[in-house]
Chain A
């Protein structure tokens, strides 16, 4: 028996599953691995329960655009068979995960949040990172909603509808990895992949109260993902614990010749390092540009800084210009990417995306190259700071989740457009390519994130600090009341 799953008639057919599995809705990946490895749950039961939750909750959250049920069950059965044979299980055995729909999934068109890409042929294979997670035993369960072509901070998509914030369905998830945040924050999956060009992992992590890792530029392979702005595109995991971020990150590390930006470095596992904590690390708070005047952002940064004993400010030089340069590079590279589609199918774009892209086709190259030169200067200046400190704290977003459709928000005494400014504090950081972990600070009524920024290739430092904050109870992914 089959039925049309989820809420949309275009979605893929699913088989009906009975769900007698224990409730792993809010279990971390590490707990699921332990349950599967210890025989307390089968991988099949975990996956079946996952699809049951998706059917029940996703009509509200609107996080999935496709589910891969047959494939997932086959993978889960293979894991259970492997265990039955007494074979050692890999690090993520039985962990369900889903990916932003700009990741290639064999057999599905890679939508990248667009209407236009629905006409693209199905992907012939999986993105590199999906393959690596599955090799580690994780089970792909579907593809996730996102802002059109990743040019978005809100999570509002005119083609698929907005993903909804699990803590308050009337509010934004943030974007552009909107479905990733809604699915993990809503307890549908413990792990999702997103992409981050200017903040698209960190912004939704902040608004939905999750942990998100934007690794060093060039660390994780982007092969098999639909690009946005290759000079700035990163990919990374979102989860409900630092440990899960680390497990996923470790499984995904490694050189990939199919991504020209991916750097050939040895794999540097971080999971075993988490227990080292933050002892001995020099941590400062970003001053100047990053001194946010919203009460929530201030409270979150202050709470994190106090827990870590970070009582020193440090100025990231010319952060405002870094944001401007990131804006220029992003817009113009994206315009170059989409110019043929703008010529042939302009009416099929989200109008907000279309107008920005058309405008960016007309910016003189001299200004774009100046922005790239500034990026070199900025990187050098930022790296100097890491001679003095090991990590820098900054707000992840200037506010808690705005209401869906909200156009402006208040920061201090200034009213700013939501769409352009949710990435106010993330853009200058990804512009330098340095690794960042966004940690959720569970304020009332809604969470907000803090960025832990480390030197290039020192994801371990940012993750150790995030883990410390979790152990101290300062950072936590709180289960939404709806669950």
Chain B
């Protein structure tokens, strides 16, 4: 996502881009480590040419997840799927 320099930004773009550590080198390294370890643990072959794409989408997933994870919910909240015996 690229933003122009002036004017207000939509809420989605602003909130996701604004996380201060989102693009940090440390975080990128952590993502690379997670991808490497995950691929090994899950026996997923990842062509080196795909690494950047996988890291990009994992980064995006973590940004979306951080938004949801920051939202306070009562401990008693049931997950949406309900199994019926």
Q: What residues make up the interface of A, taking CB atoms closer than 8 Å to B?
A: 231, 288-289, 293, 318, 320-321, 323-325, 327-328, 331, 339, 342-343, 346-347, 351, 354-356, 358-363, 367, 369-377, 379, 408, 411-417, 424
Give bound CA distance, A338 to B1, whole Å: 28
Give bound CA distance, A171 to B24, whole Å: 37
Q: Are the CB atoms of A415 and B11 closer together than 8 Å?
A: no
Give bound CA distance, A264 to B15, whole Å: 41
Instruction: Give the nearest-CB partner of B5 in chain A.
Output: A413
Give bound CA distance, A321 to B42, whole Å: 29
Q: Which residues of A contact B69 (CB under 8 A)?
A: 367, 370
Q: Does B18 contact A (CB under 8 A)?
A: no
Give bound CA distance, A346 to B13, whole Å: 31
Give bound CA distance, A331 to B64, whole Å: 11
> Total interface residues on B, using CB and 8 Å?
45
Given contacts A231-B81, A374-B73, contact A359 B68 (CB under 8 A): no
Q: Name B64's contact: one of A289, A328, A369, A377 (CB within 8 Å).
A: A328
Q: Which residues of A contact B38 (CB under 8 A)?
A: 361-362
Q: Are the CB atoms of B61 and A361 closer together than 8 Å?
A: no
Q: Which residues of A contact B58 (CB under 8 A)?
A: 359-360, 362-363
Give bound CA distance, A363 to B31, whole Å: 11
Q: Does B85 contact A (CB under 8 A)?
A: no
Task: Give the dominant DSSP class at A's interface.
Answer: helix
Q: Are the CB atoms of B3 and A370 closer together than 8 Å?
A: no
Q: Are the CB atoms of B53 and A355 closer together than 8 Å?
A: yes
- Please, what's the 1-or-0 string for B26-59, where 1 marks a CB less than 8 Å from any CB in chain A? 0000000011001100111111001001111110
Q: Does B2 contact A (CB under 8 A)?
A: yes
Q: Does B25 contact A (CB under 8 A)?
A: no
- A382 CB to closest chain B CB (Å) equals 12
Q: Name B80's contact: one of A324, A339, A376 (CB within 8 Å).
A: A376
Give bound CA distance, A356 to B59, whole Å: 10
Q: Which residues of A contact B60 (CB under 8 A)?
A: 359
Given contacts A328-B64, A373-B73, contact A360 B44 (CB under 8 A): no
Instruction: Give the nearest-CB partner of B77 in chain A.
Output: A373
Q: Are the CB atoms of B42 and A413 closer together than 8 Å?
A: no
Q: Are the CB atoms of B78 and A363 closer together than 8 Å?
A: no
